Structure 1
Amino acid sequence: MGEPARESVAVVVVTHNRADLLGRMLDGLVAQTWQPDAVIVVDNASGDHTQQVLDRHDLPLQVIRSEENVGGAGGFRIGMETAYVAGWDRIWLMDDDVVPAPDCLATLMAVDEPCLMCVREDLDGRLVEKSATTFDLRNPLAIKPKTASVETTYGTRDAMPPLVEIQVVAFEGFLVRHEVVAAVGLPDPEFFIFYDDADFALRARKAGYRIWAVRDAVLVRQLAFSQELALESWKGYYMYRNLFVVHFRHGQNALVRAKPYAISAAVVALSPLRGGRAEAGNVMRAVRDARRMRAESGGVPTRR
């Protein structure tokens, strides 16, 4: 018997007004020892010099420009559907502020699993992989469902085993096979930002797929994580709303599915001491709008 056929892979990159970071990310793709078959860049209505950065011929680029900013969720929806319909065997989702090590894609492609995640580090080589090793949607007393991550569990890359099972992912180095998209659908664009990747991973796990972080697949973040958001800002609204949607859709019992109401009440009660009327307004709008999004969404694109 001959060797199995080489799987094809398309990279999907979503970008918005970060042309210089995007350029370094694309340089990282050029340097890959396993060259992708397609690089689909979704430009979310950038107003900077992104188009100039994309005027290059050293990658099999396909540029899709959205006339409006549809957020990371909408961008990944567009890109993944494009890759799926084209029939690529695997789809590698990538943000514009990371750079893969030269052997990153080859390392992932050598692992025969349908759902894989790179392991991220910062510019100083410190492990910063936030993907959850425990995402608790069973305990109503867990305020945040992510109770352990790769970073908090292992501390360093050297302490990790070659494969670590994870429960949610980031759309920042996630490699997924065509069959998974056929089974669970596309990212839900209504999330706009935050938790669209968690929702997709939870749907995949419900369908019976396991997700593995691959220790030796190195992805370098160019920017520090900014997890402490101003919850009274517009981003705070999406953080609350989408967290609530995850609880409504994927909570494993009635008490967990009721958590958004308890969280909202607590935030409103404490608002004079923290985010004020703006945060209280965000959380009240968030729980109202999350109720409307309770039904799982994604939709499977036209099959090849």
Structure 2
Amino acid sequence: MAPKVSIIILNYNGRKHTIDCLRSLEKVGYKNTEIILYDNGSSEDISEEIKRKFKKVRVIRRTTNIGFSGGNTDAYRYSHGKYVLLLNNDTTVTKDFLTALVNRMEKDPQIGIVQPKIVFQRTKKLQSGCVFFTSTGFLYYLGFGKDPGNKTYNIPMQVHSANGACMLIRREVIEKIGLFDKDFFLYFEETDFCHRALLAGYTVWYEPKATIYHIGSVDNSRYKYSLLVYYSFRNRLVSYIKNLGLASLFVVLPVHTLLCIGLIFAYLFSGKPESSLAVCKALMYNIQNIRHTLQKRAYVQKHLRRLADGEFLLRVTRFPRIEYYLRLFTGLERYID
């Protein structure tokens, strides 16, 4: 019998997208699933409508928004499957996507996390394929904004991080290392989680035989851009301090911090003072909360780490040209991989 998959979907004032997502899941060929819709403090209660239209969907409703990290972590408590699929509500899926993801997992018990090819719904360009680590601390998004049919992006690969819009996780991974860091609220939570899985000896894969479509940034559009900048920069630093080995940390942290300081001035001189201030606040947060972060680091390094950085990090690292880092903030679709 095919292993059971628990599908967790968060909703935050996204009725139309959520219904479209659930309708696409009804057409999926893989049938041994349970669907948990976690309403994360929406002002509009769609519980009864969902129960009426989708009989097999279990709805969990909260009165307050506890963020992407907190919502998924709490929703996980209600799941029972061997595998857990985290799926954004502004996605639509293809018939065989889940079969392809589960097949990849079943081939190798060392695989802890796998993501599909994620295509922008509107432009039909690739949003997320392979995400790699770089020595600067900024991630390398292979294929972003490119043609998803290009053979370069249709090869299964080991990666540093899966995309939180859709990721299939082996349940035992969550039981061993936990799910998302609740302090993150928004951004970088899936990369932090994948990094911990790598430390624990699992691998993270990109499976291009599985495809989903993603509108993108629907929930995030409800937040000010400067707030998104703040969480992105803040959480990235926290994650590296927690997870990197000392030798890697001494290389990456100074370089990344200097680049962040440079971006403070770049944002300021380009007429984006709120973003400049957001990066400043992100750096200050890490200074003010270093003791708390080091406590997390002590736990990760003592209880979760099974591999040294040298045993896995280079395998999921890329060294892009300098142009990449300029394009990262001005338009990655123009960068040639």
Both proteins in one fold, TM over 0.5: yes
Give CA deviations for 1:134-184 in whole Å, capped at 9, x if unaligned.
212xx2xx3x521242447x8433514452222111122200111111222
Letter in 2 for 1:7: P
C-alpha contact 1:231 1:275 (8 A) present in aligned 2: no
Match of 2:116 among 109, 115, 118: 118
What is the aligned partner in structure 2 of residue 282 from structure 1?
Answer: 278
What is the aligned partner in structure 2 of residue 256 from structure 1?
Answer: 252
Aligned residues: 287
Match of 1:221 among 186, 211, 214: 214
Match of 1:27 among 12, 23, 26: 23
Match of 1:14 among 10, 16, 35: 10
Answer with 112-121 or 265-274: which moved more: 265-274
Distance 1:225 1:134 in 2: 24
Unaligned runs of 5+ in 2: 304-337
Shift of residue 190 of structure 1? 1.1
Give SS of 2:207's match. strand
Letter in 2 for 1:70: I
| Structure 2 counterparts to residues 44-193 of structure 1, below 5 A | 44-48=40-44, 50-56=46-52, 58-83=54-79, 86=80, 88-111=81-104, 112=106, 113=108, 114-123=112-121, 126-136=124-134, 139=135, 142=136, 145-151=138-144, 155-157=147-149, 159=151, 160-193=153-186
Distance 1:170 1:220 in 2: 13
Letter in 1 for 2:249: N
Distance 1:67 1:230 in 2: 19
Letter in 1 for 2:156: L
Give SS of 1:117's match. strand
Letter in 2 for 1:38: E
Match of 1:212 among 205, 208, 227: 205
Shift of residue 110 of structure 1? 2.1
What is the aligned partner in structure 1 of residue 195 from structure 2?
Answer: 202
- Say if 1:79 and 1:259 are closer, same or farther in 2 by CA, change over 3 A: farther
Q: TM-score, normalised by structure 2?
A: 0.75
Q: TM-score, normalised by structure 1?
A: 0.82
- Say if 1:197 and 1:259 are closer, same or farther in 2 by CA, change over 3 A: same
C-alpha contact 1:231 1:237 (8 A) present in aligned 2: no
Which structure's residues are more often helix, by fraction?
A: 2
Q: Percent identity?
A: 17
Distance 2:129 2:185 in 1: 19
Letter in 2 for 1:156: P
Answer with 273-282 or 93-102: which moved more: 273-282
Give SS of 2:140's match. strand
C-alpha contact 1:122 1:224 (8 A) present in aligned 2: no
Distance 1:74 1:107 in 2: 28
- Say if 1:131 and 1:74 are closer, same or farther in 2 by CA, change over 3 A: farther
C-alpha contact 2:122 2:215 (8 A) present in aligned 1: no
Unaligned runs of 5+ in 1: none
Distance 2:127 2:120 in 1: 9
